[in-house]
Structures are given as structure tokens and as C-alpha cells.
Structure 1
């Protein structure tokens, strides 16, 4: 399995971000793990990294966040029209059928239920050829 250049965690829960960041860093699956507390922060980070080698190859995105939620982020991200390959997975606790139906209409690669575990990360990376 190759080491990713960068993974971006997007979640408004600081504890979740901390735990997920520690998990990913302990697994050594990426050279860098970036953290954003909402979709707007994530877009700002991506714009800052757009000419950098550390542009995220994998984004783990929460749905329900203040400022800019996951759905708004996905819409804005697609408008950026970046020319690099990125896998976006929604990482959520939501079981709302409306959210699930909306997610199926987006360009995400899939979704995972929280909490993030080593097993889920390894399966995701293997399944998507990383």
C-alpha cells in the first residue's frame, strides 16, 4: 500500500478530529493529515494547497457542520474543478434517510459510519487502490 501525500479530515467535533488524526498518523498512511472544522475551512485549506504536493488525495467529510456543511462543501469543491484525483468519503453518524438519499446523488466515493477504525481505513484504502 502506498503512502498518501495528504488526508483531509473535515468535522466540527474537535475530539473526533483529534482521535481520527492520531489514528491516521499512527497508521502512517499519509505524509500529512490536515484538519478542518467545517467545509469553508476545508475549501480554504485546499485552495492554499492547490499548487502543493500535499493536495489531499483522500477527504473524510462530516455532513452536519456549522458555517458550511458537507453538502455545501461538495457543491463548492466540484466548482473548483481541480485536475487531480481525490477520493471523498463521508464519515458520519447520520442515519437520516434524507441524508443518505442526497449523498447517493453526489460524486462521493462512499460513506462510512463513525467511529473511524484502523479496519475501516485499511478497507477503504485497499478498496480504492491506494
Structure 2
């Protein structure tokens, strides 16, 4: 059984999404990966998949790109924080970025994120995230 029932990738880059899905599949850390190309699609997916918070397709982890068209990562977080608590699943949100700009970090101080990861994702970064936020080890799953 996978460590996490569902992960939501939010990134406007198809190649990044493909590579991240392949990494997560190879590591066998999740049963399902949902993909949104911007923050608005991510909110829509949460509405669809989290009507029942215990649904196996309701994400337990969101890997959120910071820079996207239409609705970026910070705008997603602001909209997510404004939603009624009953609409938001118990989820770990990790911001993905190419660099940690101090101004961006400051803007996210009061937003519901559990941490940051720099791109690209790697087995080591995913393993550390699982250990830190889910109490899971992936040592037997890495190839």
C-alpha cells in the first residue's frame, strides 16, 4: 500500500508534471496522482474530489508551483485560505519553486503551506517530505 492515497500536482508545465508523475509512480508513494495546470483547476479538483474528506481521491499532499498563469501558487493559497474549513481537506501543501525569493517567502508567511522544495523533485526530496510530514519511509520503494 502506498504512503499517500492521492497527491495533487499543480504546475503549468506538462513536462514537469510528466516527470513528477513518473517519479512518484517509480517510488510507489501514492495510489493516485491528480494534475492541475493552474490554481483555479486545483481548486476545482478539490471541490470535485473532496466532497467526502475521507475519499481516496481527496489529496493528502499538494505539490504547488509558485509561478503559473491564470492563478499562481500564492493566489491559490489565498483562495484556499478563504474557503470554509469544511471544504478544505486535511492536506500538506508544499510550494515548489526554482528559487526561494525572500519577497515571495515573506508573502507566504500567513498562508497554509507546510514548506518549500526547490525544483526539480528528486527521490531524496520526496523521501524527506514523506518522513517529515507523513512519518513514512520509502527506503524499500526506491529503485
Distance 2:44 2:77 in 1: 13
Distance 2:88 2:42 in 1: 17
Stretches (4+) displaced over 6 A: none
| 1:29-50 residue CA offsets vs partner (Å, 9 max, x unmatched) | 1110111110011111111101
Question: What are the equivalent positions in structure 2 for 1:68-83 lying under 5 Å apart?
Answer: 68-80=71-83, 81=85, 82=87
**In the alignment, is residue 128 of structure 1 matched against residue 136 of structure 2?**
no
**In the alignment, is residue 96 of structure 1 matched against residue 101 of structure 2?**
yes
How well do the aligned residues superpose, as a CA RMSD in angstroms?
1.6
Distance 2:108 2:99 in 1: 11
| 1:37-94 residue CA offsets vs partner (Å, 9 max, x unmatched) | 1001111111110123310000000111000000110111122323531000001103
- The number of equivalent residue pairs is 130
TM-score (norm 2): 0.84
TM-score (norm 1): 0.92
Question: What are the equivalent positions in structure 2 for 1:28-43 lying under 5 Å apart?
Answer: 28-43=28-43
TM-superposed CA distance for 1:107, in Å, is 1.9
Structure exhibiting the larger radius of gyration computed from Cα positions: 2
Gaps of 5+ in 2: 136-143
Distance 1:101 1:107 in 2: 13
Distance 1:45 1:3 in 2: 21
Question: What are the equivalent positions in structure 2 for 1:47-126 lying under 5 Å apart?
Answer: 47-51=47-51, 52-80=55-83, 81=85, 82=87, 84-126=89-131
Distance 1:13 1:74 in 2: 19
